[in-house]
Structures are given as structure tokens and as C-alpha cells.
Amino acid sequence: SQKIEQNSEALNIQEGKTATLTCNYTNYSPAYLQWYRQDPGRGPVFLLLIRENEKEKRKERLKVTFDTTLKQSLFHITASQPADSATYLCALDLARSNYQLIWGAGTKLIIKP
């Protein structure tokens, strides 16, 4: 069956450390993978996109990796801050004609001061 999985348990990280979130998928072949941030009671906000032929993408303190062999993407936040506390969602873009994204359930990240 087709699945996209993110850690269901909250991730607690000490301020200043690097937070690493995981997105695993099975039986999909995404052309792209996107990461979004969602704050409580609000809609998700796009952060980064990585293509299937890219190994790594960076934006300020954010870094995303994409391993199509392992069927996994890792999302890193370096020098984490309490303001980074949120739920982070990954989404697969299969490049289908209906342009839909396939969403993970998200991982809640808590950065402790």
C-alpha cells in the first residue's frame, strides 16, 4: 500500500541544537517533495521544495535532504529557537495531471529554552 509517514510523537529539542525531522514514504515515486510549517489554528506555510535529482537544499537555517533510494527526506533546523516550535508537514508531488500533493500527518517540534 502507499504510505507517507512522519514521526507521530512530538520532538523535543534544546534551544541552539539541530532539530531533524523525518519523512518516509512507500510505493510512491515523487518528482518533488515539499516541506511546510503549521502553527496551531492556522494554515500550513510553504518552506522548501526539493527535486528528485537533488540531494540537498538549503535556506538560511533550514536544510532538506532527499534520498529516493531510501525513500526518505530529512528536514533540519540548525541553531533552533523557541520560535521554530510548530508542526512540520511533508508533501509529495507526484507530478500527476491533477496536480495534487500527498500529505504526511506532520511532526510537532518543541524547542525548549
Partner 1 sequence: DGGITQSPKYLFRKEGQNVTLSCEQNLNHDAMYWYRQDPGQGLRLIYYSQIVNDFQKGDIAEGYSVSREKKESFPLTVTSAQKNPTAFYLCASSIRGQGLKATQYFGPGTRLTVL
Which chain residues interact with partner 1 by CB under 8 A? 4, 8, 31-32, 34, 41-46, 49, 51, 89, 91, 93, 95, 98-101, 103-106
Q: What angle do CA 108, 109, 111 make, to 5 degrees?
A: 150
Which residue has 512530538 as its cell numbers? 10
- Nearest CB to partner 1, comparing residues 104 and 111: 104
Q: Would you say 33 or 111 has its CB closer to partner 1?
A: 33
Dump the DSSP string for 55-91: SEEEETTEEEEEETTTTEEEEEESS--GGG-EEEEEE
Please state the closest distance from residue 99 (CB atom) to partner 1, in A: 5
Closer to partner 1 by Cβ: residue 79 or 105: 105
